[in-house]
A and B are shown apart, each in its own frame.
Chain A
């Protein structure tokens, strides 16, 4: 559990620091993984299958999110010619 917390925090740090969209997505994956780890650990603690079931859902969700996210990254790259997250800041103000 502590490990999960540490990994999650690392994911957060990565998310906040990096401006490259790909790295942001990677950090999100890290976080999701950490969350899944937490679930499984808890499930193992109580010797129930529920934790693993949750992990499966998280996995499915992560997969779909990654695919859509990467598609968006492609579109963004074609739009702005860069992968900088700050380039897509037209909704400011």
Chain B
């Protein structure tokens, strides 16, 4: 394992993550997040997990960040939002969370230091091994994640629906439209369900 590469990538990851959470402009934050993810991918490669490194870049940095950007684009926020954001984000609001986060870090590091962490072994785990593990003992996990993805797909499709974007299908999906009208959308219904369940 290449220690220097690790430390450089680690430094970049930390710095960019700090920048992510402190930006006022959402798009800027996203770009920094992308960089952070890529540096983490480098670390993965350094740890001997090439397959994961690639996955990280393709899926995480590739699709998830892009998804974020699409949504921001759809929302069409504009300059006003950035200004509002600036008003919300004042230095004194950082005190509590920073404190909590610091304590958290301290505890985790303490745990790690107490624990039994030897030097990482320096060999590469090939994609083949990962595949075998996936289709071997972790088969159920695979099935479950596929179900999860299916559910997420359907959910996102349904939740992303709203009246203005699909005018031509109003006759067919009138029930959805009425539910949107009266219930105020699945968000309301969702919270109603939650309230009922609670």
Contacts and interface: CB of A to CB of B under 8 A. Distances in A.
Interface of A: 1-3, 5-20, 22-23, 25-27, 29-30, 33, 36-37, 40-41, 43-53, 55-57, 59-68, 70-79, 82-84, 90-91
Given A1-B117, A64-B149, A91 B195 contact: yes
Interface string B165-198: 0000000000000000000111110110011000
B191 to A, nearest CB: 7
Interface of B: 10, 13-14, 17-18, 20-21, 26, 29-30, 33, 36-37, 40, 43-44, 47-49, 51-52, 55-56, 59-60, 63-64, 67-68, 71-72, 74-75, 77, 81, 84-85, 88-89, 93-94, 96-98, 100-102, 104-105, 108-109, 112, 117-118, 120-121, 123, 125, 129-130, 132-134, 138, 141, 145, 148-149, 151-153, 155-160, 162, 184-188, 190-191, 194-195
B13 A7 contact: yes
11 contacts: A16-B100, A26-B30, A37-B40, A44-B120, A47-B123, A52-B52, A60-B149, A64-B151, A66-B64, A79-B184, A79-B185
Main secondary structure of the interface of A (DSSP, over half): helix
Contact of A70 (B43, B55, B56, B71): B71
Nearest to A30: B17
B10 to A, nearest CB: 5
Given A26-B29, A45-B121, A78 B191 contact: no
Contacts of B18: 10
8 closest Cβ pairs, A-B complex: A64-B152, A14-B21, A16-B97, A71-B159, A5-B108, A13-B101, A49-B133, A67-B156
Contacts of B118: 45
Contacts of B98: 13
B89 A90 contact: no
A50 B121 contact: no
Among A49, A55, A73, the most chain B Cβ lie within 10 Å of the Cβ of A49
